[in-house]
């Protein structure tokens, strides 16, 4: 098989048994890698009992998968997946960095991790030498400390293995912070201080397995490809196009902090009570001039390097380091909390990184708590003495620490905004869901739909199989701007940000040159990609013990998205229910779901998913 190392590692943490596993070429041809392959393996293993699997229990499977295009298509990433403790479905969550490259160079396409270690551990992969090691000395450490200790320790392991090679580069490290260790549903899997696989809550899944980190070092080449000369040409072609996008390279998504607020009016402000502000003090020039210490920062093979390194050098928040912050961090740890000072935003982003919290889910649940405080529903006593006023950065920092360590109110908020609303609502005897901007247990990314001026639409989240994930949006037409495109990127496993400048056909040309498989657009959108989408849909509808979704009720936008925008150029605008219903039905039709949003049996059969049909029948979802 071309483009693949050809084998995967399966590690059972309960028994510390490690074995190599392979998948047939026909499975890889249908599911590629990353998100697609995780869906397939997960369904085969857990599909029959999906709804009773506890995502934070030892029966969940954690996937760390590359794809065939990882390392070849510009912008290396790796995909983290499993049953999601947020949606109870399955989310493919990718993060940038060199981990996927190191893994492939070590001879593995991915890791399938099962069971639960008896005590804190980390997995070390140095070429074919795979070991489970004690992590009690790093358990409890924050991100930067963890990176520091593990870089030293595992570089030494590499030197021990290859004493005569001279210096080898340090291994790549995936890890969790305290939030993951404490099984927060809003915890992420991280690398390089500030890169995170955010959506899904897989930091908590790693924590539930007592797995602090995974370290990989490969000294081999990337796998053989089918047509080497063509791959080289395509890399050059893709990079040339990416180089032309000069402002995108210069600002990354960092340009969004002001423009998504002032221009498109779609940024969460004070927990989405507004989606507009006109604070020029929060525009990209302030970040660039005051805080960016590296204008271009990126990961393996990336021509765009849209990340930036930022650091606060003066004032009470001095010494905080993070990347960008990107638009999502700018929004959720800025205006969403009533914060409009770039330094304070960098400080909070850095803290969130260190704690291993998700900026989006964590920022969202803190905004939710602050609105309850504003409304007098949560008191200072409830919050353990924190004065959670909008804009009080120190208070939000204190709250973030409580969430990561599940201290006091933090224990409830670590469940994420949706579950916290149910719990706190019961305690306070009030319906708190109107104050949560969520989709099926997942807080929605920072792209509101009310103004209609952002790239999100009224069905983006409501019909997505990854719920609130702004990087995997449902859309029309389904065969060009829909979620199946995101399935392609997450299954090929490369950075979708490098596809903006490219013709989509180039991706299929890459697939052919790397793997030798001639896959047409049509084939992807009508069968392969669609099949992955259907299994994910089935998993989402099956749900879990603590939350299930009925599409007739839950394929819906959050209540707040039906309130009129109170301020800004689009004041008064809101989501039109009738238009939404129409778009939803149109989308259902396009992806083969019936009027209630249930996958049609004939479509499932056409895709060879009889087992999915059987399962959905067995639980009366298909009737």
Partner 1 sequence: MAPRKKIWITRDYMKCSGCRKCEIACSLYHEDKIWPEASRVRVFMSVPGAEVPHLCVQCDDYPCVESCPFKALSVSEKTGAVLVDETKCTGCGICIDACPGKIPHLHPSRKRILICDLCDGKPECVKICQEGKWNALGIVKRRGSAASMKAYARTPEEITRELVVNLYGEKGEELL
**Is 239 one of the binding residues for partner 1 (CB under 8 A)?**
yes
Q: Which stretch binds partner 1 (CB under 8 A): 45-53, 289-297, 472-480, 610-618?
A: 289-297
User: Which of 293, 545, 618, 619 is in the footprint of partner 1 by CB under 8 A?
Assistant: 293
CB count in 10 Å sphere of residue 559: 14
Q: How many residues bind partner 1 (CB under 8 A)?
A: 47
CA dihedral over 489, 491, 494, 495, signed as positive or negative: positive
**Is 147 one of the binding residues for partner 1 (CB under 8 A)?**
yes
Nearest residue to 371 via CA among 441, 273, 457, 452 = 273
Beta bridge partners of 438: 443
Within 8 A by CB and 6+ apart from 554, the residues are 440
**Is 305 one of the binding residues for partner 1 (CB under 8 A)?**
yes
**What's the min distance (Å) between Cβ of 8 and partner 1?**
21
**What's the min distance (Å) between Cβ of 121 and partner 1?**
23
**Is 567 one of the binding residues for partner 1 (CB under 8 A)?**
no
**Is 298 one of the binding residues for partner 1 (CB under 8 A)?**
yes
**Is 227 one of the binding residues for partner 1 (CB under 8 A)?**
no
Q: Which stretch binds partner 1 (CB under 8 A): 113-121, 132-140, 199-207, 303-311?
A: 303-311
Cα separation, 158 vs 310, in Å, equals: 31
Q: Which stretch binds partner 1 (CB under 8 A): 214-222, 261-269, 406-414, 614-622?
A: 214-222
**What's the min distance (Å) between Cβ of 183 and partner 1?**
26
**Is 603 one of the binding residues for partner 1 (CB under 8 A)?**
no
User: Which of 53, 62, 90, 105 is in the footprint of partner 1 by CB under 8 A?
Assistant: 105
For 5, 41, 215, 323, 478, the CA distances from 107, given in Å and listed in that order, are 5, 20, 14, 30, 36
Beta bridge partners of 536: none
CA dihedral over 245, 248, 249, 251, signed as positive or negative: positive
450 with 575: CB under 8 angstroms?
A: yes
CB count in 10 Å sphere of residue 507: 24
DSSP string, 222-244: PPP-S-HHHHHHHHHHHHHHHHH
**Is 289 one of the binding residues for partner 1 (CB under 8 A)?**
no
**Is 192 one of the binding residues for partner 1 (CB under 8 A)?**
yes
Q: Which of residues 218 and 359 has its CB atom nearest to partner 1 in the complex? A: 218
**Is 314 one of the binding residues for partner 1 (CB under 8 A)?**
no
Cα separation, 487 vs 483, in Å, equals: 6
Nearest residue to 317 via CA among 339, 336, 332 = 339
**Is 168 one of the binding residues for partner 1 (CB under 8 A)?**
yes
**Is 376 one of the binding residues for partner 1 (CB under 8 A)?**
no
**Is 222 one of the binding residues for partner 1 (CB under 8 A)?**
yes
**Is 78 one of the binding residues for partner 1 (CB under 8 A)?**
no
**Is 159 one of the binding residues for partner 1 (CB under 8 A)?**
no
User: Which of 17, 19, 48, 148 is in the footprint of partner 1 by CB under 8 A?
Assistant: 148
User: Which of 11, 55, 60, 98 is in the footprint of partner 1 by CB under 8 A?
Assistant: 98
Q: Which stretch binds partner 1 (CB under 8 A): 39-47, 166-174, 269-277, 413-421?
A: 166-174
Phi-psi region at 43: left, alpha or beta (left = phi > 0; alpha = psi -120 to 50): alpha
User: Which of 33, 47, 301, 342 is in the footprint of partner 1 by CB under 8 A?
Assistant: 301
CB count in 10 Å sphere of residue 139: 18
Residue written as tokens 């649940």? 365
Cα separation, 138 vs 68, in Å, equals: 33
Cα separation, 207 vs 176, in Å, equals: 7
User: Which of 111, 188, 269, 321 is in the footprint of partner 1 by CB under 8 A?
Assistant: 321
Q: Which of residues 125 and 436 has its CB atom nearest to partner 1 in the complex? A: 125
Q: Which stretch binds partner 1 (CB under 8 A): 132-140, 186-194, 474-482, 597-605?
A: 186-194
Q: Which stretch binds partner 1 (CB under 8 A): 262-270, 293-301, 423-431, 538-546?
A: 293-301
Cα separation, 342 vs 460, in Å, equals: 29
**Is 101 one of the binding residues for partner 1 (CB under 8 A)?**
yes
Q: Which of residues 48 and 148 has its CB atom nearest to partner 1 in the complex? A: 148
Within 8 A by CB and 6+ apart from 230, the residues are 509, 513
Beta bridge partners of 18: 11
**What's the min distance (Å) between Cβ of 319 and partner 1?**
4
**What's the min distance (Å) between Cβ of 434 and partner 1?**
40
Q: Label residue 569 exposed, middle or buried (CB < 10 Å: 0-12, 13-18, 19+).
A: middle
Cα atoms in the 13 Å half-sphere on the side-chain side of 270: 18
Cα separation, 322 vs 421, in Å, equals: 30
**What's the min distance (Å) between Cβ of 261 and partner 1?**
28
* Residue ranges binding partner 1 (CB under 8 A): 71-72, 98, 101, 105, 144, 147-148, 151-152, 155, 164-170, 192-194, 218-222, 228, 232, 235, 239, 243, 293-294, 296-303, 305, 309, 311, 313, 319, 321
């Amino acid at each position: 098989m071309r483009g693949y190392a050809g084998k995967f590692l399966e590690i059972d943490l309960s028994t510390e048994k490690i074995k190599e596993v392979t998948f047939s070429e026909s499975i890889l041809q249908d599911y590629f890698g990353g998100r697609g392959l995780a869906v397939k393996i997960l369904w085969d293993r857990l599909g029959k009992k999906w709804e009773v699997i506890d995502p934070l229990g030892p029966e969940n499977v954690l996937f760390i998968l590359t794809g065939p295009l990882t390392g070849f298509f510009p912008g290396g990433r790796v995909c983290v997946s499993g049953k999601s403790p947020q949606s109870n479905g399955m989310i493919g969550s990718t993060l940038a960095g060199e981990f996927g490259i190191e893994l492939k160079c070590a001879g593995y396409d991915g890791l399938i991790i099962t069971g639960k270690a008896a005590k804190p551990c980390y997995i070390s992969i140095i070429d074919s030498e795979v070991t489970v090691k004690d992590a009690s000395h790093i358990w409890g450490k924050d991100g930067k400390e963890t990176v520091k200790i593990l870089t030293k320790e595992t570089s030494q392991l590499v030197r021990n293995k290859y004493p005569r090679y001279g210096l080898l580069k340090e291994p790549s490290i995936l890890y969790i912070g305290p939030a993951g260790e404490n099984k927060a549903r809003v915890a992420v899997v991280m690398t390089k201080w500030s890169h995170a696989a955010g959506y899904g809550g897989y930091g908590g899944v790693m924590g539930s397995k007592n797995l602090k980190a995974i370290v990989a070092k490969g000294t081999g080449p990337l796998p053989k490809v089918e047509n080497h000369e063509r791959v080289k040409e395509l890399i050059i072609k893709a990079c040339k196009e990416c180089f032309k996008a000069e402002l995108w390279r210069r600002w990354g998504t960092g340009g969004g902090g002001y423009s998504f607020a002032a221009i498109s009016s779609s940024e969460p402000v004070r927990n989405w009570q507004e989606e507009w502000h006109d604070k020029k003090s929060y525009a990209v020039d302030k970040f660039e001039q005051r805080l960016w210490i590296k204008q271009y920062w990126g990961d393996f093979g990336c021509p765009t390097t849209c990340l930036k390194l930022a650091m606060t050098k003066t004032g009470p928040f001095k010494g905080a380091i993070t990347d960008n912050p990107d638009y999502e961090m700018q929004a959720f740890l800025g205006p969403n909390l009533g914060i409009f000072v770039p330094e304070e935003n960098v400080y909070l982003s850095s803290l969130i990184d260190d704690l291993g919290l998700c900026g989006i889910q964590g920022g969202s649940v803190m905004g939710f708590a602050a609105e309850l405080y504003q409304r007098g529903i949560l008191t200072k006593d409830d919050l353990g003495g924190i004065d959670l006023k909008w804009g009080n950065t120190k208070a939000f920092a204190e709250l973030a620490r409580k969430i990561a360590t599940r201290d006091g109110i933090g224990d409830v908020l670590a469940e994420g905004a949706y579950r916290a609303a149910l719990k706190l609502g019961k305690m306070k005897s009030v319906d708190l869901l109107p104050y949560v901007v969520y989709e099926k247990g997942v807080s929605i990314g920072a792209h509101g739909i009310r103004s209609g001026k952002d790239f999100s639409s009224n069905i983006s989240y409501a019909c997505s199989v990854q719920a609130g994930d702004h990087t995997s949006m449902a859309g029309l037409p389904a065969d060009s701007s829909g979620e199946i495109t995101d399935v392609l990127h997450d299954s090929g496993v490369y950075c979708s940000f490098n596809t903006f400048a490219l013709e989509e056909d180039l991706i299929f040309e890459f697939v052919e040159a790397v793997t030798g498989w001639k896959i047409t657009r049509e084939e992807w959108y009508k069968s392969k990609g669609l099949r992955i989408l259907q299994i994910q849909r089935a998993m989402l509808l099956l749900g879990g013990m603590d939350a299930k979704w009925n599409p007739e009720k839950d394929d819906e936008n959050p209540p707040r998205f039906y309130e009129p925008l109170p301020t800004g150029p689009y004041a008064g605008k809101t989501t039109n229910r009738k238009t939404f219903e129409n778009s939803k039905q149109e989308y259902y039709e396009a992806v083969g779901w019936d009027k209630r949003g249930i996958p049609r049996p004939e479509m499932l059969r056409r895709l060879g998913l009889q087992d999915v049909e059987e399962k959905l029948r067995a639980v009366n979802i298909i009737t």
